[in-house]
Amino acid sequence: MINKYVPVITIDGPSASGKGTICKIVSKILGWNILSSGLIYRSFAFFLKKNKIETCVYQNYDLLIKYLNIFIYRGLFFYFLKDSNILNQIYTSEIGNIASRLSVHYLVRKLLLPYHYFFKIPPGLVADGRDMGTVVFPDANIKIFIDSNINIRVKRRMLQLQKNNIYVSFSRLKYVMKDRDNRDCNRFHAPLFCSSDMFAIDSTLLSVEQVIDNVMQYVYKKLY
């Protein structure tokens, strides 16, 4: 059950827009809990790939329930969260694309949705994803949308991958990310978009510090 009395800040945006970094910093400043929706989908995608489970399972209710039960109730999801080696592996372009294809399916989204609410506990929650403010937490106290130029986002993702000794060409990564953007923005269920009640920030020409300054000014204005 969702605790309606716990304040929530949602931060949505496309991949490598900086939303994850901003989410971590904001949650640390406020002392609130943090949720990365993408981590749930990426972890499940990694689990399916590691166990060589075919994509035909995505729309098979019985099989999805079976594998989801293994993934969640045997503690594997929380194991992923605590294992830095696993975390490095799930932030590859391949796992990101599998997660994106997973998220297109309504059944997958419906089954994974309740696990987002585990994180909504006092004193508050800062959640980042692609539909946090539109679907998962539509009544969030504060909704933020962060976007950035595709070339800047590709460079950011390349640096992130290189830290994990994963190297890919700029052109190839740009193609993959644009393809994912298109899939995320045009999927029938819970598409990525900036709703009218969101505070939109273009981080293309801004430093992390400048984005945080804009976000926190807005947060303090809305909360206090």
Distance of CA 167 to the CA centre of its chain: 22
What is the gyration radius of the CA atoms in the chain, in angstroms?
A: 17
**In the prediction, which pLDDT does 111 show?**
86
**In the prediction, which pLDDT does 78 show?**
61
pLDDT in tens, 149-194: 999 999 999 998 888 788 889 999 999 999 989 989 998 889 999 9
Better-predicted residue by pLDDT, 147 or 76? 147
> Is the pLDDT confidence value at 113 over 70?
yes
**Residue 122: is the preceding peptide bond cis (ω within 30°)?**
no
| Domains of the chain, earliest start first | 8-216 (3.40.50.300)
